[in-house]
Amino acid sequence: MTLTTPRLLATSAAISVLFLVNLAFAEDSPTQPLPWKRGPGSAPIGDLAEIGLDDSYVYLDDAGTKRFMELNQNPVSGAELATIAPISDQENWFLVFEFEPIGYVKDDEQDSLDADALLASIREGTQAANEERSKRGWSTLEILGWQEKPHYDARTHNLSWAVTAQSDGRKSVNRIVKLLGRRGVMTVTLVSPVETLNATIPVVDTMLDGYHFKSGHTYGEFVPGTDKLAEYGLTALIVGGAGAALVKSGLLAKLWKPIVVGAMALGASAKRLLFGGRKVAKNLEGPIV
């Protein structure tokens, strides 16, 4: 089954902080609309994975996601692979998928994650990044605290957490899910208003049940002695790259690249502008295969 079409950065040593500053959706560039594709179908996440979507979701491929980042004045790292959003105008959230080919991450730190120390590192890195954002005239971020403390699911090899932040007087939440694979980590960033996060998380988790790495890329297919091992573990995945060591050395200030999604938000939007009045917009493309 294919998806049909209607009308959001991490390096191996950086954290992707993708905060939604304003959920008032604006239009795409009139000359280059975003190529949203609608379910149902199996949406490719690069060449590494795929996710099943029903017709209540729309999807952007890697090129569309990079443009989505640029429209919102965010640097593009090349790690961006896909964006997913709901069609319903009652749901104001979206997901961004990025892959970091850092190698196989051992999960032996799963019982020793220190939430307080991790939050302190994230705040320090954000303050450093804010200096660069100010130079560019962009909004700065304030990390308020955990909405969901870091936890690891040994069954699915998923590491999850959620951070609440504030920018320009508006609060929003990043919920991060790290999907561990054979050769690296797929980062899934959920951007949602604080008020609706608790209702959104179960919806997103159900959707992610339909995600899977393709054969040859799963965590269980790791070959000891042959495949690359990541240089760090679960703790560093949360604070980025080499973790606290980067903060102490001052390198994190250069590598940290927070993403702020402003008024452009979902571009032409999977809601009001894409399906206003339940009418499909004009710039439809053919199905993806």
CB 17 within 8 A of CB 126: yes
Question: 4 pLDDT exceeds 60?
Answer: no
pLDDT in tens, 102-126: 999 999 999 888 999 889 888 887 8
pLDDT at 75: 64
Out of 52-61, 71-80, 166-175, the most confident range is: 52-61
Burial 177-203 (b: 16+ CB within 10 A, else e): bbbbbbbbbbbbbbbbebebbeebbeb
Fold designation for 18-278: Protein Transport Mog1p; Chain A (3.40.1000)
pLDDT at 100 over 50: yes
> Could you tell me the pLDDT band of residue 72, with boundaries at 50, 70 and 90?
low
pLDDT for position 73: 61
Is residue 16 over pLDDT 50?
A: no
Q: Give residue 93's pLDDT band: very low, low, confident or very high (50, 70, 90).
A: confident
Could you count the other beta carbons within 10 Å of the beta carbon of residue 14? 23
Going by pLDDT thresholds of 50, 70 and 90, the confidence category of residue 203 is very high
Rounded to whole angstroms, the Cα distance separating 77 from 69 reads 10
Average pLDDT on 283-289 reads: 41
Q: What is the tens place of the pLDDT at every residue in 211-262? A: 999 999 999 999 999 999 998 899 888 876 433 333 333 333 333 344 444 3
Higher pLDDT, 185 or 258: 185
Ranking 81-95, 111-125, 126-140 by mean pLDDT, the lowest is 126-140
Number of Cβ atoms within 10 Å of the Cβ of 6: 21
Q: What percent of the chain has pLDDT over 90?
A: 38
